[in-house]
Amino acid sequence: MEDFPKYSPDGTKIAFTSQSAGEQPHIWVMNSDGTNLKQLTKEGVYADAEPFSLSPSGNFIVYSQYRFDKWPVQNGTLWILNVNTGNKQQLTFNPKPTYN
């Protein structure tokens, strides 16, 4: 299932999430004419939360990531992803919460 499509500001690319049955959602990008489909995230037991944010330049995506195999879902972390290179950087580091 594809969700949360977002056009780049110049209208040349579309970013969206896609999730197969029983799988985690991941972020994809393609040209607005449907060519050059590329999966940007694939993190194993980690899911890429939706919706995500596309930067005004269209070159970066900010998204949260969380453990898909744990219940209840743990706090996610924020990441920034370079759409052109695929490089990503973790922005937040959430320690596991402690409850009494």
Calpha distance 64→53 (Å, rounded): 10
Q: What is the pLDDT of residue 80?
A: 94
**Model-level pTM?**
0.75
Strand pairing category for 38-39 and 26-31: antiparallel
Average pLDDT over every residue of 86-97: 81
Map out the domains of the chain as residue ranges.
2-88
- The pLDDT tens digits of the residues spanning 21-31 come to 667 778 889 99
